[in-house]
Copies of this chain bind each other. A is one copy, B any other.
Amino acid sequence: MNVLIIFAHPERNSLNGALLDIARNELEASGHTVQVSDLYAMKWKTDIDRKDFPSFPADERLKVASASAESFSSHTLTPDVEAEQKKLLWADTVILQFPLWWFSMPAILKGWVDRVYSCGFTYGVGEHSDKRWGDRYGEGTMAGKRAMLIVTAGGWPEHYSSRGINGPIDDILFPITHGILFYPGFTVLPSFVAYRVDRLNEQEFSILSDKFKERIQTLATTSPIPYRNQNDGDYTIPTMLLKSGLEKAGTSGFELHLKAEPHL
């Protein structure tokens, strides 16, 4: 198995760094190959701008999606972006690892997504017509690959539970798991979330570490989140509304986009 870990933490000597070491060691001990993009260590360029499209005319109004599409199709993206795209194509499994900052990913990781997710690569893929709205949400360039999030949070698990004040963690992460991972075709595994990470003692770390190793060892077999594929008939085209009657009674919000019965 080829595993790519995108690591977004400014301090290597941190709980996130320790989890990264565990993941790499566990995977390599099982004969898998691991590549890590340590974004802070790489001094990753975070913001997408004109410099991302060297062949784009300097005096022309920048439309990001079309500049991205042209640069992707003409192979004129910058080398740092092309290198990350190659890693994604190489990988069977992709992990995004980050501390939850303000209920989302650190800016440096968002900038990795903004820049590496080119038009023609992870969006704008496939036929777009009255009958088909592209290859996305379960189809696309990343189809057949698995992906998951490893997240650390300072708050308590209760705060992120179904009635917790922050909102349920799976809903907070939905714009990432569904919008960034499922969209270009990944099969998405349930997120691994560690809570109260600023106050872990040795025993708590040991328990966390055991749970984490279990998740890493079962990457290939863990049941994915049962998101609905866009092009399996559940949605109207082109309005992309979930057809009525497909959900369990009383379901609403993001949960509508999970199949009523989890699949294996």
Chain A interface residues (CB < 8 Å from chain B): 10-11, 13-14, 40, 46-50, 61-65, 99, 101-108, 110-111, 113-114, 117, 137, 154, 156, 158-159, 161-168, 171-172, 174-176, 178-180, 198, 230, 235, 238-242, 244, 250, 252-257
Contacts and interface: CB of A to CB of B under 8 A. Distances in A.
Contacts of A256: 163
Contacts of A176: 103-104
B106 A158 contact: no
Contacts of A253: 167-168, 171, 252-255
Copies of this subunit: 2
A24 B252 CA distance: 38
Given A48-B106, A172-B179, 19 more contacts: A10-B50, A10-B64, A11-B63, A46-B46, A46-B47, A102-B117, A102-B175, A102-B179, A103-B175, A103-B179, A104-B104, A110-B110, A161-B241, A163-B242, A163-B256, A164-B242, A165-B240, A166-B179, A252-B252
